[in-house]
Amino acid sequence: MADFIFADDYRLDESPTRNYYETFLKGLVHKHNNLMGVIQGFSSLVLYDDAISSEVRDSTQQMQDSSKVASDLNQEVLVAGGCARCEIGAVSLDELATFWEDKANEICTGNGVGLQSNVRENIPSVNGDGGKLTDIFTQLVKNAAEEASQVDGGSVAIDIFPPGEASPGTNVDLFIRNSSRALDEAALKKSFEPFHTSKGADFFGIGLTTAAVLAGQMGMRLGLRYADNTTTAWLAMPPAS
């Protein structure tokens, strides 16, 4: 599967320099959220005034909505910046499968695309953090569904295979495929870049960055491939020791 483009550059090393930037980023987000809180509080007070004009109300509502979006972005930036803590242990994919399928159905339905799911029985446990692994899955499905919604009759398919069935070695393999516009190698690499998006200003552009960073933190490997009008995300998950 050499034609996959892997996000290996997003494996953040442990070093004093990283510790500095992690502390700096957490502090910046905290200060920024404090400012957003002031804006939200002030705008709420203004909106309570029934005497304000419609122009002032619309502007104030836009200010409040924007501050809420900014606060949401702050939380995602922390994870994409490597500030999330991963508690590594054995994760049962059999136990997560039903929740994952419900989550994928919700995302795909919301984007108006079909979903197929193929999860083999008795998948071995993997080494990782269940919550963070679910975050990766969610980000990959969201990205797939949003892209598929741009294609007529677009759909998403999810496969989870035990070791040795889809690739050599001992990894458990998760594949998420979606109908897609054409993507060359440069576009695939750029997909992992923070704040890069081809979907418009309503998207943050850090979903795949988040997935890549979390995968690196858990010793997993994340790759992307485009072929025959289909983009495939492949997450190779090491088995629990």
pLDDT at 135 (0 to 100)? 96
For residues 203-213, average pLDDT: 89
Listed residue (74, 108, 88) closest to 237, CA to CA: 88
Please name the amino acid found at residue 69.
Answer: V
Binning pLDDT at 50, 70 and 90, where does residue 200 land?
Answer: low
Q: Which amino acid is residue 239, in one-letter code?
A: P
Q: Lay out the sheet containing 172-179: strands in order across.
A: 5-6, 221-227, 230-237, 172-179, 155-161, 114-119
pLDDT one-digit tens code per residue, 130-165? 999 999 999 999 999 999 999 999 999 999 999 999
- The amino acid at 77: V
Q: What is the mean pLDDT of residues 204-229?
A: 93
> Mean pLDDT, to the nearest integer, of 152-181?
95
DSSP conformation class of 126: E
Percent of the residues in the chain that have a pLDDT greater than 90, as a whole number: 77
Least confident of 80-84, 166-170, 198-202: 198-202
End-to-end CA distance of the chain: 25
CA dist., res. 196 & res. 189, Å (int): 11
Model pLDDT, residue 15: 85
Query: Burial, 55: exposed, middle or buried (Cβ in 10 Å; 0-12, 13-18, 19+)?
Result: exposed
Task: Give the pLDDT band of residue 1 (cuts 50, 70, 90).
Answer: very low
CB 137 within 8 A of CB 128: no
| pLDDT at residue 14, as a whole number | 80
pLDDT score for 202: 67
φ/ψ of residue 235, rounded to 5: -110, 115
Range with top average pLDDT, 73-77, 89-93, 185-189: 89-93
- CB 12, CB 213: distance < 8 Å: yes
